[in-house]
Structure 1
Amino acid sequence: MTTTSSATSSTTPPAPVAPARPTASGLRDNAWVRFGIRRAGQLLVSLWALVTASFLMIHLVPGDPVRASLGMTAPQALVNARRQELGLDDPLLVQYWHYLGDLFSGDFGISMSSQLPVSQVISQRLPATLSLAVAAFVLALLIAIPLGALMGVLTRGGRAQRTELGFTTVSVIIGAIPDFVVCVILVWIFGVNLHLLPVAGKFGLDSYVLQVVALAVGPGVILARILRVEMIAVLRADYVRTARAKRLPAVTIYLKHALPNALTATLTLSGLLLSGLIAGTVLVENVFAWPGLGSTIVSSIQNKDYPVVQAIVLVYGVLVLLINLVVDIALALLDPRSTIREN
C-alpha cells in the first residue's frame, strides 16, 4: 500500500500555476511611460503650431515688411536686394523649410533695425524679463499662501463674517485694478512724491521693487482668495477631524495636514499665474523702461522689425509651454493616481 501510494503521488502532474498578476508598481511604471509619451506628443504638436504661427506672422502682415523697415523713400533696387537677402522671394514652403532649419540651428535671423543677430538681442534681453517675472511670482506666492491660509482658518464654518466680507471686498477691488493703473499709482507715490525708488531703468535691486509689486499684487490677492476656499474645504475633510480627535496641536493640523492638501489644488493656478506674469511683463516693462523682451517687442513692432518680433513671440510661447509641462509633471508627482486614471 505504501509503495503504490508513493508511485501514484510521484506520477501526479504538478498543479497548474496561475499566471503572475502585474504588480501595482508595474502598472504605475506603465502609466508613467504613457504619461510621458502623451505629454511629449502634446508638447511637440504645440511647438509645431507655435513655430508655424510665428512663421506665418510676417506673411499675414499687410504691406511689405522690407519696404516698411527701409522706409517709403528707399530705392526699389535696395528693397529687392533686401528681400532676396532675406529669402522672401522664395516660395512659401521653401521659406518655411529654411525657417525650420534655421531654428534648429539656433539662427533667428538678423534684426532689420540694428543689423545684429536676433539671437544676440534675445540673449541680452531675456534675463531681465525672466528675473522680473520670477521675482513677481515669488512675491505673489508670499502674499497668497499666508494670507489665503490665514483667511481660510479664520473664516471656516461661517466664522468671522465681517472679516470674510472685508477680505473679499478688498481682494476684488485690488484684483480688478488694471496693471497700468497700478504702475501709475506706484510711480506717483514712490517716485514722484516720495522720491524713494527709481521709476525707470534697471540699475540695482531697488529698481525691481515697483515693477515686481505692480506685477505681483493683483495675482497674489486673487490666488489668496482661491487658496482660502480650498483651505476651508480641506478643513472639513475627515482626516482633519481625525487629527483633531487625536488632540494634535492646531498649528500641526493647519500646517502639516491642511495646508499641503490645499496647496496641491492651487498648483495648476500657480503655473498659470507664472505664465500670466511672463506675458504681463510686456506692459510693465514699457511703463518703467525696463530693458527686457517686453519693451523690445513693442519697439520692434513700431520699427517694423519683424524677425525680432517673430523670435520674441516664439520665446514667450516656448516659456509658457514649458511652464505648463512642469506643472503637469508636478501634479502627477503629487498625485500619481490621477496619472494612472488618465491612462
Structure 2
Amino acid sequence: MKTKLYVLYGGKSVEHEVSLKTAVTVLHSIDEGRFEVYPIYITRDGLWCTPGQLSKEGLTVERLITRPAFHDPARSIGEILSGMMALPGPKVVLPLLHGSNGEDGTVQGLLELLNVPYVGNGVLSSALTLDKAMSKQVLAQAGIHQTEFQVCRFEEWRTDEAAVLRDVENSIGYPCYVKPASLGSSIGISRCTHRGELLTGIREGFSYDKKLVIEREVDGREIQVAVLGNERPLASLPGEFIHDHIFFDFESKYMDKRLTMSIPAKLADGLTQRIRELAILAYRAHGCEGLARVDFFLDEEGDLFLNEINALPGFTNFSMYPVMWERTDGTSYSELIEKLIGHAIERHTDKQTIQYTR
C-alpha cells in the first residue's frame, strides 16, 4: 500500500505566496509510485480545503488555489480531518507553511494531537526558531556569537515612543535593522540609518507583530548552511548569494533574476568547518529535528555572527537549502524530500515507545 502524503500549503500568513511557490516545486518532485498525494490548501483566512488529486503536468500556483466548502475554520478543519486524513493506511504530513500559523508550532501541535508523522521541526523548536527574540536568548545561552540587539514590545512603544528611540540610538546605533520577531522572508524588516527611518521602521514592524527585534548592522557577507537530520544532524557545505543589495529584502530574494549562488562559499582555511560545527550547535540548542537553515554574517575582520535559524527555509529549485545539499553530497531535490519524510517517520516511530500511563 502506498503511503498517503498530505501536503499542507498556503496558510494564514504574509508568506502565503512563498508557500505556494514551494508547494508547486515539491509536488512536482514527489515519487507517485511510492506516495499517494493529497494536497491541502489553507486560505489566507485560515480555512482548510482541497483541490483534489492534481496532475504534475501543467501544475501551477493557480491550480493549487481552491475555494473552501465551509467558511468557519473549525468546520473546514474538521471536514479535512474526518474525511481525507482519516483514510486507512500509512500516512505522513508535509507542512509547507512559512511564517505564522504554520511554521510557529501551531500546526505542529495539531499534528501531535492527531499522532501522525510530519516532516520538519516539532512544536517547541518551531516556536523558538520563528520567534527571533526567544531564539537569540537560546543562542546566547549556548555561547554562540551574535550581533548586538534589543527587543521592543508594543506596550513599551505605545507608552513612550521617544524613550524607545533614545534607547535604540544609545545601545544599538545606526545603521540598524528593525525586524518583526516572528516573520521570515525579510517581510516587515527595515534598514535604518537615522531617526526618521527608525521611527518609520518600528511603526511598520508593529503592523506585522507585537514584538520587534532591533539589531546592529554587520557589514559583511551572509553565509548560509543547510542542516538535516534528527539525533545526528549533518551540515552542508556553506553557501552564499552573490548580489549587490545593501539590504537583501523580499524583492531582492524572490524577484532579482541576477542572483547567483556560490556553493561552497569561498572562505578562509578552517572557517568552513567552523561554520558547519556552529550550525549544528545552534540546531541542537533549539531542539531542531528534520531540517533548518542557519544563517551567519562574516565581517571584514573575519568575525562570525549567527544571524538566525530558519526551521522551514525556502524550498524551490532555486532556493539555497536544496541546492546546498546537491552540491555537498549529490542529493537531488526528490531524494531530499524522501530523506525528510524518512526522518519524520523515524521520529514518529521513536515517539511511540513513550509511556503515558504508570
TM-score under structure 1 length normalisation: 0.26
Higher relative contact order (CA 8 A, sep 6+): 1
Please identify the structure whose Cα radius of gyration is greater.
1
